């Protein structure tokens, strides 16, 4: 016994030294950068089994979910889990598609949906699945077109042309969708060659009271009891090639699918997550952080907060409006809460201060050498200036932009090209624009929104704008129209617009298109709001764009210097590039955390928490009766853990961000143990700086997913299709002499 124990301690000590957690790594470099670490932590696969361009490998089961046939980025990740192209992703990733397929008669968001066989699966036209065929380093080709005499703009033009050329060459006449992206702020370039499947069908989704249990109150937080998964299937033509929807298409036979493990998780178990993280800012300067916290995030929080308030008022009152705005509401609420969390946690975790310390060391290193001073000396001061400019100008960009999009002002914007053509007396242009406007189905366009919601949003955005600016900064219509003609009453003004504007209803638009005139637009208050907001945008656009360009250019120089600085001062450190919607691998382990002094958060939560949180009839914490009964009876079947409890979600230290949603979390054998779906509140600053002590990924346990499919929904057809594994329980081994 003793001998074994000593050995076990030695292994633990070794494991303890390995610290991966942070980093979203490119799978192509796994062997060189990560493999040794991963193996020490518990990985049992070979590098070839993880990423290979010659044989099938784990990467072939990971798909990027896009909304177009040739996506350059992905809103979520999915994984293939059967030899018939079955795909798991998050509930919140399938949400938009499920909303679009729903109606008041068939409200799949509310009621759930389970196809009993292939014939019942429903095409989700706005969802595509991209498989990565290969990736390659094209830095030399791309940066080869840059010459010393090019300024930043000329450089970007030359790079864009080269990117297009290489992408075209790799597409093999449209067979593939090659995408080239810049890494480390344009200091490296890689090409990703995808095969994009456009026939993706909805197979199964639980009621949103399971899939979104806890709603926005629990969003971005632990403990979490959300069954955040949905199920789709990828279809192909008879030869396995991508094809648009056709009744003749067949389920895709994938190169690889993930087996599923029922073994569950224990503290410190090895975990890896593969997927398509969207964007991080790990190399952002302190100036960028300060600008976000002080200016940019507060503006967006202000605007989105108000928009959400209006939506919610009407959504809670009317189920049809609730369904209509479900997806817009969820994504606004998600970003809104994220920005609030980032403001709080960037401050609390003192991220800007940490960056200042790094920048001071870096500046010292730069100043020690004349060449370095010449190349890198100006980048940080330039960044400071550029962000200062953005700090002044941003409100003149974001507020007008959102007001100009609100309600009838937003519709009027579509008619601005006609107005401009008429003003220039360009008859041909005006005709052309009118022809395009006549193509638009305004009935359909208006059917996607509710007039009450749009009306109130329009009024509230105008009020918000008035609050955000000084009187002398307001566009003219506030004093000349709202104050003079409506005694400053913005609601009365909005009512008037809705009764009288050309752009308030499809009927009035059609009447206008039958007899279009510039004069009518001159007198139209919705158009007046839109055009005066656009004037403000135009006045500030150039300065804003210049500051943004200065940020990009100087970030490029700063990060180039920073990489040199790290190489010189910390030669053992491997750097990973910021997330940019390309395939990444992150590895870590199952782990609890302490969110505050004296508070300990366990790394798993159980179905008992659903009973605790349950509020009958509530917008966020209602739950289906059948689920509650199963939990009361602890009727969990093979999905229970060793104590007879049902684990719902668990935590791991993997480094992920938005876009990773739906990603598989796997054990050392590459078996699926859950789906990653969120980050935690205390580390909302994590996109800018990884917080090892606090930062966790929230995963839905695969046993809860299977329990819902099997015991709750009775979709045994799907269970039978999966490759489910359970290891033999390991007997406690006595040490034997032989």
Least distance (Å) between residue 570 CB and ligand ARG: 32
Give 548-608 as a DSSP string. HHHHHHHHHHHHHHHHHHHHHH-TTPPP-PPP-SS-EEEEEEB--EEEETTEEE-SEEETH
**Which of residues 334 and 689 has its CB atom nearest to ligand ARG in the complex?**
334
Tokens of 684: 């909302």
Closest C-alpha among 235, 209, 226 to residue 121: 235
Q: Which of 261, 661, 663, 667 binds ligand ARG (CB under 6 A)?
A: 661
How crowded is residue 613: how many other Cβ atoms within 10 Å of its Cβ? 18
Residue whose token pair is 């913005």: 490
Among 127, 284, 330, 536, binds ligand ARG (CB under 6 A): 330
Q: Is 358 exposed, middle or buried (0-12, 13-18, 19+ CB in 10 A)?
A: middle
Judged by CB, which is closer to ligand ARG: 229, or 677? 677
Pick the closest to residue 280 from 567, 547, 582 (CA basis): 582
Of 381, 406, 531, 397, the closest CA to residue 468 belongs to 397
Catalytic residue, candidates 199, 218, 228, 555: 228
What is the pattern of x (binds ligand ARG, CB under 6 A) and - over residues 439-478? ----------------------------------------
Minimum CB distance to ligand ARG smaller for 100 or for 155: 100
Q: Select 196 or 698, whichever has its Cβ closest to ligand ARG.
A: 698
Half-sphere exposure of 24 (CA within 13 A, CB side): 30
Q: Say whether the peptide bond before residue 296 is cis (omega within 30 degrees of 0).
A: no
| CA distance linking residue 357 with residue 354, whole number of Å | 5
Please say which residue, 219 or 292, places its beta carbon nearer to ligand ARG. 219
User: DSSP E strands: which ranges in 395-474?
Assistant: none
Beta carbon nearer to ligand ARG, 212 or 703: 212
Q: What angle do CA 641, 644, 650 make, to 5 degrees?
A: 40
Based on CB atoms, which residue is closest to ligand ARG, 97 or 191? 97
Residue 94 Cβ, how far from ligand ARG at the closest point, in Å? 11
Q: Site for ligand ARG (CB under 6 A): which residue of 34, 89, 285, 334? A: 334
Residue 729 is classified by DSSP as P
Task: Figure out which of the listed residues 204, 658, 664, 670 binds ligand ARG, where binding follows CB under 6 A.
Answer: 658
Closest contact distance (angstroms) between CB of 523 and ligand ARG is 42
Binding mask 604-643 for ligand ARG (x = CB under 6 A): ----------------------------------------
Closest CB to ligand ARG among 312 and 564?
312
* CB atoms inside a 10 Å sphere around CB 673: 25
Closest residue to ligand ARG, judged by C-beta, is 92
DSSP class of residue 220? Answer: T
Interface with ligand ARG (CB under 6 A), residue from 252, 258, 333, 411: 333
Nearest to 291 by CA among 383, 183, 396, 403: 383
Question: What minimum distance in Å lies between the beta carbon of 326 and ligand ARG?
Answer: 10
| DSSP states of 184-205 | TTTTEEEEEEEEEE-EEEEEEE
Stretch that binds ligand ARG, among 330-338, 342-350, 442-450, 689-697 (CB under 6 A): 330-338
Selecting among 57, 82, 91, 92, the annotated active-site residue is 92
Alpha helices in 349-415 (DSSP H): 351-367, 370-376, 379-393, 395-404, 407-413
Q: How far is the CB of 328 from ligand ARG (least distance, A)?
A: 11
In the bound complex, what is the minimum distance in angstroms from residue 136's beta carbon to ligand ARG? 30
Site for ligand ARG in 382-411 (CB under 6 A): none
Closest CB to ligand ARG among 78 and 670? 78
Give least dist CB 618 to ligand ARG, A: 14
Tell me which stretch binds ligand ARG (CB under 6 A): 326-334, 436-444, 626-634, 637-645: 326-334
Tokens describing residue 389: 């400019």
d(CA 69, CA 372): 45
The piece of 271-279, 313-321, 327-335, 415-423 that touches ligand ARG (CB under 6 A) is: 327-335
d(CA 643, CA 701): 16
Q: Which is nearer to ligand ARG, 95 or 636 (CB)?
A: 95
Beta strands 199-205 and 230-236 are antiparallel
Burial class (CB in 10 A: 0-12, 13-18, 19+), 170: buried
Quick note: the x/- pattern for ligand ARG over 519-558, rule CB under 6 A, is: ----------------------------------------
Among positions 165-224, residues that touch ligand ARG (CB under 6 A) are 212, 215-216, 219-220
Pick the catalytic residue from 285, 589, 661, 685. 661
The answer to whether 92 is a known catalytic residue is yes
| Residues that contact ligand ARG, how many (by CB under 6 A) | 13
Closest approach, Cβ 330 to ligand ARG, in A, equals: 4
Residues 72-101 close enough to bind ligand ARG by CB under 6 A: 92
Query: Cα 367 to chain center, whole Å?
Result: 39
Nearest residue to 388 (alpha-carbon basis) of 399, 377, 380, 376? 380
Q: Which is nearer to ligand ARG, 94 or 561 (CB)?
A: 94
Write the binding mask 678 to 707 for ligand ARG: x where contact by CB under 6 A, - elsewhere: x-----------------------------
CA-based angle 578:584:585, to the nearest 5?
120
SS3 assignment, position 131: strand
Task: Specify the stretch interacting with ligand ARG by CB under 6 A; choose among 328-336, 504-512, 622-630, 632-640.
Answer: 328-336
Q: Which two tokens stand for residue 53?
A: 């361009």
Q: Are 338 and 346 in contact (CB under 8 A)?
A: no
Please give the span between the terminal C-alpha atoms of the chain, in angstroms, as a whole number.
14
Q: By C-beta, is 209 or 352 nearer to ligand ARG?
A: 209
d(CA 237, CA 245): 9
Minimum CB distance to ligand ARG, residue 65 (Å): 13
Least distance from ligand ARG to the Cβ atom of residue 493, Å: 33
Smallest separation (angstroms) from ligand ARG to the CB of 610: 16
Residue 228 falls in the annotated catalytic set: yes
Tell me which stretch binds ligand ARG (CB under 6 A): 329-337, 356-364, 487-495, 512-520.
329-337
Q: Shortest approach of ligand ARG to residue 63 CB, angstroms?
A: 17
Considering the complex, state which of residue 212 and residue 556 has its C-beta at the smaller distance from ligand ARG: 212
**Which candidate, 232, 174, 239, 171, places its Cα nearest to that of 199?**
232
Cα 248 to Cα 86, 117, 266, 339, 721, distances in angstroms: 18, 15, 45, 46, 21
CB of 331 to ligand ARG, least distance (A): 7
**Residues in 121-160 that interact with ligand ARG by CB under 6 A:** none
**Chain positions contacting ligand ARG, by CB under 6 A:** 92, 212, 215-216, 219-220, 330, 333-334, 658, 661, 677-678
Active site residues: 92, 228, 661
């Amino acid at each position: 016994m003793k001998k074994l124990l000593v050995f076990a301690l030695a292994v633990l000590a070794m494991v303890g030294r390995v610290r991966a957690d942070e980093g979203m790594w490119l799978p192509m470099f796994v062997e060189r950068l990560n493999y040794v670490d991963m193996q020490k932590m518990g990985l049992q696969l070979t590098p070839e089994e993880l990423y290979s361009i010659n044989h099938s490998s784990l990467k072939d089961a990971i798909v990027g979910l896009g909304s177009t046939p040739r996506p350059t980025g992905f809103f979520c990740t999915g994984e293939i889990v059967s030899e018939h192209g079955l795909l798991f992703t998050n509930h919140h990733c399938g949400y938009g598609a499920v909303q679009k397929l729903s109606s008041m008669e068939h409200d799949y968001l509310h009621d759930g949906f389970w196809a009993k066989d292939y014939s019942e699966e429903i095409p989700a036209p706005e969802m595509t699945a991209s498989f990565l065929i290969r990736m390659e380093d094209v830095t030399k080709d791309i940066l080869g077109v840059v010459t010393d005499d090019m300024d930043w703009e000329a450089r970007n033009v030359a790079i864009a042309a080269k990117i297009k050329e290489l992408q075209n060459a790799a597409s093999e006449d449209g067979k593939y969708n090659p995408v080239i992206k810049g890494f480390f702020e344009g200091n490296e370039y890689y090409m990703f060659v995808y095969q994009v499947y456009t026939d993706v069908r909805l197979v199964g989704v639980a009621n949103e009271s399971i899939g979104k249990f806890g709603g926005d109150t629990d969003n971005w937080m632990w403990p979490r009891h959300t069954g955040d998964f949905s199920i789709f299937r990828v279809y192909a033509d008879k030869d396995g090639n991508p094809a648009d929807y056709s009744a003749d298409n067949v389920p895709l036979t994938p190169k690889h699918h993930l087996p599923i493990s029922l073994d569950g998780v224990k503290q410190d178990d090895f975990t890896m997550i593969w997927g398509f993280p969207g964007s991080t800012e790990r190399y952002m300067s302190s100036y960028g952080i300060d600008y976000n916290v002080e200016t940019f995030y507060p503006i967006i929080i202000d605007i989105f907060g108000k928009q959400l308030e209006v939506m919610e008022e009407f959504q809670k009152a009317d189920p049809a409006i609730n369904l209509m705005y479900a997806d817009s509401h969820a994504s606004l609420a998600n970003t809104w809460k994220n920005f609030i969390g980032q403001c709080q946690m960037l401050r609390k975790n003192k991220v800007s201060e940490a960056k200042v310390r790094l920048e001071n060391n870096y500046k010292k290193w730069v100043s020690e050498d004349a060449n370095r001073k010449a190349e890198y000396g100006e980048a940080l001061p330039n960044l400071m200036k550029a962000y200062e400019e953005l700090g002044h100008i941003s409100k003149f960009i974001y507020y007008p932009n959102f007001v100009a999009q609100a309600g009838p002002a937003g519709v009027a914007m579509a008619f601005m090209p006609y107005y401009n053509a008429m003003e220039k007396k360009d008859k041909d242009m005006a005709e052309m624009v009118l022809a395009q406007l006549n193509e638009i189905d305004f009935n359909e366009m208006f059917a996607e929104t509710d007039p009450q919601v749009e009306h109130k949003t329009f009024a509230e955005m105008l009020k918000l704008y008035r609050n955000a600016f000084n009187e002398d900064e307001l566009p003219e219509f506030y004093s000349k129209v709202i104050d003079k003609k409506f005694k400053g009453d913005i609601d009365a003004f909005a009512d008037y617009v809705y009764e009288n504007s050309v752009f308030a209803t499809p009927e009035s638009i059609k009447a206008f298109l039958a007899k279009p005139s510039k004069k009518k637009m001159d007198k139209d208050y919705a158009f007046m709001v839109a055009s005066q907001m656009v004037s403000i945008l135009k006045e500030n656009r150039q300065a804003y764009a210049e500051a943004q360009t200065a940020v990009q250019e100087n970030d490029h120089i700063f990060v180039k210097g920073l990489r040199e600085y790290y190489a010189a001062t910390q030669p053992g450190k491997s750097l990973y590039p910021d997330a940019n919607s390309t395939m990444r691998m992150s590895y870590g382990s199952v782990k609890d955390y302490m969110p505050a002094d004296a508070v300990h958060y366990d790394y798993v939560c159980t179905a008992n928490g659903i009973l605790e949180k349950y509020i009958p009839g509530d917008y966020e914490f209602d739950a289906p009766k059948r689920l509650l009964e199963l939990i009361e009876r602890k009727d969990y079947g093979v999905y229970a853990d060793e104590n007879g409890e049902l684990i719902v979600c668990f935590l791991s230290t993997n480094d992920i961000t938005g876009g990773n949603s739906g990603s598989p979390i796997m054990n050392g054998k590459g078996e699926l143990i859950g789906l990653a779906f969120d980050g935690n509140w205390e580390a909302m600053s994590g996109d800018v700086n990884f917080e090892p002590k606090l930062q966790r990924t929230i995963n839905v346990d695969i046993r809860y997913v299977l329990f819902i499919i099997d015991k709750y929904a009775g979709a045994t057809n799907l269970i039978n299709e999966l490759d489910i594994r359970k290891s033999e329980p390991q007997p406690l081994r006595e040490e034997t002499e032989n």
